[in-house]
Amino acid sequence: MNSISREKFRQLIEYQKYRLLSQDPTTVKRGLQDLCSIFRCTGINFLTENGRNELELRLLGLLHKKSRDPKILMWTLNALSFVGRSRGCLDAIKACIGQNEENPSLTASGIAALQKIFGQDETRPLTKNLNEQIVMLASLRHLPSSSINLDSSRIDIDKSSPEVLRLALILVGTEKAPPYLFDPHHENNSIIKVLGAHDDAIVRQYSCWAVVENPHLGLTDLGIEFCDIQDHPPNVRAWMYEALCDQAPDSAETIEFIEEGSRDPEARAKAGLSHGLRERYIDGLEPTILDWHSASQDSEINQNLLHHMASFASEATMYEEIVLHSFEHSPVQSEERANLLSAAVGKPLYPKLKKIEAKGDPSLFALSEMMEKEAYNMKNPTQVNFNGPTQVGAFSVEGDASNSGTNTINSIQDFKRAACTALEELDKSNISSANKEALKELLSAARDKPDDSTFELLKNKISELNSIVTAGVSSGEAWAKILYAISQMGLMIG
């Protein structure tokens, strides 16, 4: 991933932006994880100024979301450490740390983000009463190891808590761990193998994750035999399968393990395997991929398998027709299309997908599509269980459908509701009059006249809108709600 093109980077980021709006917490978490992985491997040099502002805004929206899933919060903080920089970001991270002091992993991510963005001075008041090892492990994510006294801070794997071991494994996975972090006489990779057999399943999971993320570690460092994979819980199996896809040789044995994994009884384990296959091709694996995709009812797994097919349509010609069909019948400006475009960049399939996309510019007609579909749904309130990809805009093709795919906007009312929420909270905030008026004008237009012209206005001025928001000064709960509402609108129209 280190040498990807600017267009590949852009499409990958676009795909993650859609995932951040998913109603499924697992999809959001995986999108955040992939976003962090992209930034670790490539940096953020390809991000434009407006693009960085937009991402920061969307991440702040996740921090303020009412369903405060600790894993989503932790990965949001990790992502903010790459793109965050506004005063509102500072206040939001501090508030998140204060509200989750009992969660070591989340606290560590918050401290690391503050140190990366604003320096150590901002974290000193917050770390006085925290566990010294947790503070040290958080600091090492972005500070040189020479600034830490390791002689008194080594991680004893027999005495340290599972929480501390997980934080140490994050350093190993991201190549931030100093040599001999765990023991002065044993290199880190030998300790990783030991932790692969730890009693705590999450420690084992993080051990497998470190092997996947760190290019200097391999399957021999895993500490778990693949013949015993079913002896481990689904979260561990998921990352074992990813390690297999990442590093196992092209062989009949590898194909056999993948075939067995595609029949794993747990969706979480199969999701890990399918994610590992996104950028991995093995000649002879095509029948397994096609059968799996045809039988699977899991949206995340199917999206991963389609990504694999789009990545390798040149190597396996039977993949191309499936990908083209899926792209053509997926909603415009959707997670599904963004996924396939990000996989196909730089390959013969890419111009074919762009040609389908260019048949009509959806940006000018998205709101009218939504309104037409809403009117249709009101007249045809049939109940349908819908698992396929055929949608118009963000709507199901049949009445009031239960949709297992991506559902970013349920109706035009959601768009208007987000605008109304922001307007209501705007009066309670203490941002500057100029910024308040600029926001009010744009939001009022969306609320009062949600048609093509106002949609285009918001589309053209989204960069200005984001700049206004990220330049504002936090004013507690009111500003938090504004951030989230505008984040929702930005994702809807972005």
Cα distance from N-terminal residue to C-terminal residue, the chain: 25
pLDDT tens digit sequence for 45-88: 899 888 898 899 889 888 887 557 899 999 999 999 999 987 77
Helical H segments across 329-411, by residue range: 335-344, 349-357, 366-379
Helices (H), 427-476: 433-448, 452-460, 462-471
Tell which residue, 438, 449, 453, 451, has the closest CA to residue 486: 438
Statement: residue 9 has pLDDT above 70:
yes
Q: Is the pLDDT of residue 473 over 70?
A: no
Give mean pLDDT, residues 253-265: 96
52: tokens are 């960085």
Task: Round the average pLDDT of the chain to a whole number and report it.
Answer: 81
Sorted by where each begins, the domain ranges of the chain are 412-493
- 317-329: per-residue pLDDT in tens? 999 999 999 999 9
Residue 152: pLDDT band by 50, 70, 90 thresholds?
low
The span from the CA of 470 to the CA of 56, in Å, is: 8
Q: Is the pLDDT of residue 357 over 70?
A: yes
Percent of the chain residues topping a pLDDT of 70? 77
> What does the buried/exposed string (b/e) look like for 117-156 if buried means 16 or more CB atoms within 10 Å of the residue's CB?
bbeeeebeebbeebeebbbbbbbbbbbeeeebebeeebbe
> How far is it, in rounded angstroms, from Cα 459 to Cα 463?
8
User: What is the mean predicted confidence (pLDDT) over 330-337?
Assistant: 92
Cα separation, 379 vs 430, in Å, equals 44
* Span 384-409, average pLDDT: 31
pLDDT at 451: 66
Check residue 382 and give left, alpha or beta (phi > 0: left; psi -120 to 50: alpha): beta
Q: Per residue in 118-150, pLDDT tens?
A: 888 778 888 877 888 888 999 999 888 777 766
Choose between 18 and 427: higher pLDDT.
18
Asked if residue 364 has pLDDT above 50, the reply is no
The whole-number pLDDT of residue 384 equals 32
DSSP calls for 317-339: THHHHHHHHHHHTSPTT-HHHHH
Mean local confidence (pLDDT), 262-269: 96
Alpha-carbon gap, residue 293 to 289, rounded angstroms: 6
**Dist CA 91 CA 486 (whole Å):** 18
